[in-house]
Amino acid sequence: MLLRSVLLVSAVLVLLPATGVPGDLASAGSRLAGVSFAVAVLRRKARTTEEERTVWRWLARAAAVVWAGTVAQFGVSAVAGASGRAGLELPGDVVLSASCLLACVLVYQGLIVWNRTSTRLADPGDWLNGISAGLAVSALLHLVIVWRPGGHERTLPWWVLEMSVARSSALFIVLGTTLTVAVMAGLVRDPRIWVIALGVVFLMAVEVATAFGVLRGGWSSSGWGLFCVVVAWASTVRARPVRPQEATTQSLTIGTFVVLLASVAIILLATRLPPQSTGVAVICGGLAVVGVSTRVVRLVSDLSTLAQTRQDALTDDLTGLANRRAFGQQLDLAAEGGDDVAVYLLDLDRFKEVNDRFGHAVGDRLLQRTAGRLAAVVPAGAVLARLGGDEFALLLPGADAVGAVRFAHELAAAVQGAGGVEGTGQVSASVGIALPTRADDPAGTPDGGELLRRADAAMYQAKSTGEVVRLYDDAIDRAGREEALMADELSCAFATGDASRQFRVHYQPQLDLSSGAVAGVEALVRWQHPRLGLLAPAAFLDLVERGGHMADLTEFVLREATAATGPRTSWSPVGANDVRVAVNLSASSLADPGLLVLLDELLAEGLDPTAVVLEVTETLLMSNPEQAVEMTREIRHRGFGLSIDDYGTGYSSLSYLVDLPATEVKLDRSFTVRLSGDDRVRQIVAGTVELAHRLGLRVVAEGVEDEATLEVLRSLGIDETQGYLHSRPLAPADVPAWVRGRSAPALSGGRSRSATAP
C-alpha cells in the first residue's frame, strides 16, 4: 500500500511540469524524481520475482532509457538557460524523442518475453510487420493532419511534428503487441497487462494531441514519465494464474493483410489531396507497402516450407511410402469412423542376415525394391507404409477374413519377387492380419493402436510357427501376453532377491526295485506364483532360461536339495537322510563355468558328492558335444554322479555311452508307458538295460504309473523306478511322513549299489 502511495505521488510530480508550474529547474526536478522512483520500483521487481524476472528487467530498462533521455533534455535546457542562448531546444528534444523510441523497442521485447514466460506458444512478434504497421500509422497521421481544416498551415515546428508522429507510430505497435500477447498468452484476466495497455493508450492520446497542436510539448515529455510510473504500478499488482491458449498463426497472418490493405488505402487516399502536402504520407505508405509485401512473400515461403516439412514428416525417406506417423493418423481416423478395414503387418524374414552379409546399402536397396513391389499390388484407397527397419504396414478398406488372408498371400508373393538384389537370393516375409472386433464382442471395437498391435502379434505368431500368413488369434495373443508378464515377474523376483521366497523344491522318491528301499529323490523346482499359485517347471523354465536367470535358479535348487538330504538333516528317524538327490541341469548351466565354482563351494562346505547326481539330457549334450563332454568329466572328477536323462529320445545314445563318464541312464517315460502293450518297446528296453549293466551303469525308469508296468520293469532288470505309482513330488515337510509310511524292512536296504540322478 505504501509503495502504491509513493507511486501516486510520483505520478503527480511527473505531471507538474505539464500543468505550467513555474520554475524550469523545479519542474525538471519533479519530473526526474518521479521517473527515478519508477525505475527503482521496476528494478526491485526484477530482483524479487522468479518466473517473470526477465520481463520486468526489460521494462526497467525501458524506464531507465526514458530517465536518461529526460536527464539529457534537462541538461541541454539548463545550458541554454545559463548561457541565454536560444535554439538549443532541438538537440534536447531529439535526444528525448530517440530515448522514447528506444523505450518502445525495450517494452516490445519485454512483452515478447512475457508471452514466452507465461506459455509455450510461439512469439507473437514480427519486426517487419510491426515496422510496416508503424509506417502505415505515420502515413495516416500525416494525411489526417493535412486533411483537417487549415492542416496545410503548420502550427508546430516540423521537427516537433515529425518526432510526435514517430512516437505515436511506435506506441501503436506497442499497443497492438500488448493486446496480442494478452490473447495469445492467456493474460486476458491478468490486470497488469491491462494497466500497461491503458498507459500506452493514454500516452498515444497525448502524442496524437501534441501532433495536432491540441496540447503543448510539455505534455509529451510528462506523458512518457507518467507511462513509466504506470508500468511500475503494474508491477505491484497481484498476478492471476493464466491458462495457456492453443498456438495459432491466424492473428499474425490477418494482421499482415490488414496492414497491406491499409497501406494501399492510404496511398489511394493521398491522391485526393494536394501533392505538395502529402509527400511524407506517400513515402511512409509506400515503405509500408514494400515492407508488408516482403512479409507476405516470406509468409508464402514459410507456408510452402511448412507444407513440405509436414509432407516430409509423414513420409519415409528411404522408400517414399507413408511413415509410422502418417499410418497411425490414417489408422486412427479409420478406427474412429468405424470403417471396416484390415490391418496388415509385414516383416521380412532374416533381413538382418542381408545387412550383416552384404552391407546396409544393399539392405536399403532391397527395402526400396520391396516397397515398389508392394505398391504395385496395393489397390487404390489403401494406405501402405514403412514403419521402420524391415517392417511394412497396410491399411486395406472393406476386407473380410477370407479376402484379407488371400490378399496377404499376394503381398508375400510380391515380396518374394523383390529378391535377388546383388546376390541376396530369395526373400520371404511373414504377414500378420488384424480385423476390427465384431460389434457384439465384449471387448468392444479396438482403436487404431490396438489394431496395429494385434497385427504385430499375428505377424510374430506367423514367424514363430514358420507360416507365411497368420490371422490374429486372441487366445494365442492372451497367452503370449501372459508369458511376457510372467517373464517380467521372474526378472523382478530375481532382481529384488524375492526368488528365494517364491521358489520351492519338491522331491519325488526313487525306489530300489530289488529291496523296495528309497534309494534317492529327484529335486523338482516349483514356482509359488503370487497370482497363479504353484506352477510346475514346464510353465516357467523356458522363461528362466531366456531371461538369463538359470544360473541363479540352479544354485538355489542345488543348495536347497543338498541341505535337505545332507548329513546335517534327518527326514526320518529310520535314515531317510541316507538317500541320493538328483538335480537337473539345463543347457546354459552345462555351458556355464560358474557351475564348477558352485560345486567346489558345496564340497568345501562338507557336501558328500556321492550323494548328489546331476542329470543332463541327450538333446542338451548334442547342442555342444565337445563342451558338454568336457564339463561332465569335470563333474565326475569331483565325485558327483552323472545321469543321462530322457535316454532314448536323442539320436546318438550309444556314442554318448562311450564318451560320457555317466553313472546312470534314465529311461524316458515315452518308453515306460508303452511297455505293457508293445513288445518291440520291451525288447528295446531289455537291450538298453543289458547294455547299461555291462557298462556298469544304473538304470532308472521314470513315469511308472501302474503295477503292470512295474512288474515288466522288474522282469527286465531295471534297478530303480520313479513315478506317480510310488508318489507324486512332495514338499520337504511331507517327505518324512511318506517315508515312515513305507515298511521298515524296505528302508533297511539303504542306498542302492550306485548313486542316482537329479
Q: pLDDT tens digits for 26-58?
A: 555 666 777 788 888 888 888 888 778 888 898
Report the pLDDT averaged over residues 593-619: 89
pLDDT in tens, 282-308: 777 777 777 777 777 777 777 777 777
Give, in degrees to the nearest 5, the angle at Cα 253 between 250 and 257: 135
Q: Is the pLDDT of residue 322 over 60?
A: yes
Q: Give 584's strand partners.
A: 615
Q: Which of 138, 134, 131, 142 is nearest to 270 (CA)?
A: 142
* Residue 143 confidence (pLDDT): 65
The predicted structure's pLDDT at residue 161: 67
Q: Name the fold adopted by 324-471.
A: Alpha-Beta Plaits (3.30.70)
The arithmetic mean of pLDDT across residues 368-394, rounded, is 91
Q: Is pLDDT of 111 > 90?
A: no
**Percent of the chain whose pLDDT exceeds 90:** 22
Contact 96, 73 (CB under 8 A): yes
Strand order across the 383-388 sheet: 383-388, 391-397, 341-348, 429-434, 469-471
Q: Between 141 and 461, name the one with better pLDDT.
A: 461
Grid coordinates belonging to 201: 493508450
pLDDT of res. 385? 93
d(CA 62, CA 199): 14
Q: What is the pLDDT of residues 138-166, one digit of tens each?
A: 777 666 666 655 544 445 555 566 677 77
Domain residue ranges in the chain: 2-300, 324-471, 499-570+578-747
Mean pLDDT within 509-530: 90
pLDDT digits (tens, 9 = 90+) for 486-500: 999 999 988 888 888
Is the confidence at residue 266, as pLDDT, over 80?
no
Contact between residue 345 and residue 456 where contact means Cβ atoms under 8 Å apart: yes
> What pLDDT score does 279 carry?
66
> Span 631-653, mean pLDDT?
83
Average pLDDT over residues 423-429: 76
CA distance from start to end of the chain: 88
Q: Between 124 and 266, name the one with better pLDDT.
A: 266
DSSP of 359-399:
-HHHHHHHHHHHHHHHHHHSPTT-EEEEEETTEEEEEEET-
With cut-offs at 50, 70 and 90, classify the pLDDT of residue 91: low
Residue 392 bridge partners (DSSP): 346, 386
For the record, the C-alpha cell of 608 comes out as 558328500
Bridge partners of 720, per DSSP, are 512, 700
pLDDT category of residue 555 using cuts at 50, 70 and 90: very high
Mean pLDDT of the chain: 79
Per-residue pLDDT band for 525 (boundaries 50, 70, 90) equals: very high
Instruction: Please give the average per-residue pLDDT across 75-92, as a whole number.
Output: 57
**pLDDT for the residue numbered 455:** 92
Please give the model's pTM, rounded to 2 decimal places: 0.55
Q: Name the least confident of 4-18, 307-321, 363-377.
A: 4-18
Among the residue ranges 263-267, 607-611, 653-657, 717-721, the one predicted with the least confidence is 653-657
Burial of 692-715, coded b for 16+ CB within 10 Å and e otherwise, reads beeeebbbbbbbbeeeebbebbee
Most confident range, picked from 38-52, 468-482, 629-643: 629-643
Q: How confident is the model at residue 235 (pLDDT cuts 50, 70, 90)?
A: confident
Please say if the pLDDT value at position 133 is more than 70: yes
Q: How confident is the model at residue 181 (pLDDT cuts 50, 70, 90)?
A: confident
pLDDT, greater one: 74 or 509: 509
Largest CA distance in the chain: 142
661-690 pLDDT, tens digit each: 889 999 988 889 888 888 899 999 999 899
- To the question of domain 499-570+578-747 being in CATH 3.40.50.620, the answer is no
Q: CA–CA separation, 635 vs 630, rounded Å?
A: 9
518-529/503-512 β-pairing: antiparallel
From the list 372, 373, 376, 371, the residue with the least C-alpha distance to 393 is 371
Q: What is the pLDDT at residue 422?
A: 64
How confident is residue 17, by pLDDT bands cut at 50, 70 and 90? low
Cell matching residue 727: 508318489
pLDDT winner (highest mean) among 28-32, 478-482, 558-562: 558-562
More confident residue, 409 or 85: 409
What pLDDT was estimated at residue 12?
66
Measure the CA angle with vertex 445, ends 441 and 447; round to 5°.
150
The per-residue pLDDT for 744 is 42
